[in-house]
């Protein structure tokens, strides 16, 4: 068991355990904290995959913006009773069985193929610079990049308008 494998197991355990806590916790704030742990685990997996820009962007965007937004929404939509309603145990059991079936389908499809056992090539040393250049290169991805910026701007303006105080 190499060091890389041990680190991979540790970080994927954190990711999946955080995700499980997110979907099981009764208290919504605890669920948001579990989501933050899961997102941090995903950032560590990106770092293991040598995608350093994406690891930093994951921490900054997902944990630093999206998770904070979710926590704000949890605080702003607190029910008056203070208790979170849950579905009955039969619904939970059937849903869990359906999700396990989905997992079985995904895994059997996954194992049909011959995936590479090790990384074949090395990541180029200037991969972040290449990513930046590819996002502004006219023959590469400048159009989706600009469209995504417009989309984000429109979504944020729209959501600020929808959620504004109406008084």
Sole binder of other proteins in the list 85, 136, 143, 146 (CB under 8 A):
85
Q: Which of 61, 19, 64 is nearest to 37 (CA)?
A: 19
Q: Among residue numbers 87 through 126, which ones bind other proteins (CB under 8 A)?
A: 87, 91-92, 95-96, 98-100, 102-103, 106-107, 110-111, 115-124
Sole binder of other proteins in the list 19, 37, 56, 59 (CB under 8 A):
19
Residue 83 lies near other proteins (rule: CB under 8 A): no
Q: Which of 72, 43, 71, 48 is nearest to 59 (CA)?
A: 43
Give the nearest distance from C-beta 85 to other proteins in angstroms. 5
Rank residues 80 and 138 by Cβ distance to other proteins and give the closer one: 80
Give the nearest distance from C-beta 138 to other proteins in angstroms. 14
Residue 39 lies near other proteins (rule: CB under 8 A): yes
DSSP string for residues in 119-161: --SPPPTTHHHHHHHHHH-TTTTHHHHHHHHHHHHHHHHHHHH
**Which distant-in-sequence residues (6+ apart) come within 8 Å of 23 by Cβ?**
31
Residue 58 lies near other proteins (rule: CB under 8 A): yes
Give the nearest distance from C-beta 10 to other proteins in angstroms. 12
Cα 14 to the chain's mean position, in Å?
A: 13
Rank residues 138 and 160 by Cβ distance to other proteins and give the closer one: 160
Degrees to nearest 5, angle at CA 34 with 30 and 40: 145
**Which distant-in-sequence residues (6+ apart) come within 8 Å of 22 by Cβ?**
31, 32, 34, 35, 38
Residue 64 lies near other proteins (rule: CB under 8 A): no
Residue 40 lies near other proteins (rule: CB under 8 A): no
Give the nearest distance from C-beta 146 to other proteins in angstroms. 11
Residue 24 to residues 30, 99, 116, Cα–Cα distance (Å): 10, 14, 35
Q: Among residue numbers 128 through 147, which ones bind other proteins (CB under 8 A)?
A: 130-131, 134-135, 140-141, 144-145
């Amino acid at each position: 068991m190499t060091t890389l494998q041990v680190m991979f197991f540790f970080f994927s355990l954190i990711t999946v355990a955080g995700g499980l806590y997110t979907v099981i916790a009764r208290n919504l704030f605890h669920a948001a904290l579990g989501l933050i742990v899961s997102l941090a685990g995903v950032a560590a997996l990106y770092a293991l995959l040598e995608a350093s820009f994406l690891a930093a962007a994951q921490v900054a965007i997902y944990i630093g913006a999206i998770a904070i937004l979710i926590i704000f929404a949890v605080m702003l939509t607190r029910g008056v009773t203070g208790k979170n309603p849950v579905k009955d145990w039969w619904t939970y059991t059937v849903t869990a069985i359906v999700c396990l079936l989905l997992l079985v389908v995904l895994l059997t499809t996954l194992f049909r193929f011959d995936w590479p056992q090790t990384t074949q090539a090395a990541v180029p040393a200037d991969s972040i610079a290449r990513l930046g250049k590819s996002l502004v290169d006219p023959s590469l991805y400048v159009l989706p990049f600009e469209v995504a910026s417009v989309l984000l701007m429109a979504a944020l303006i729209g959501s600020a308008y929808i959620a504004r105080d109406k008084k």
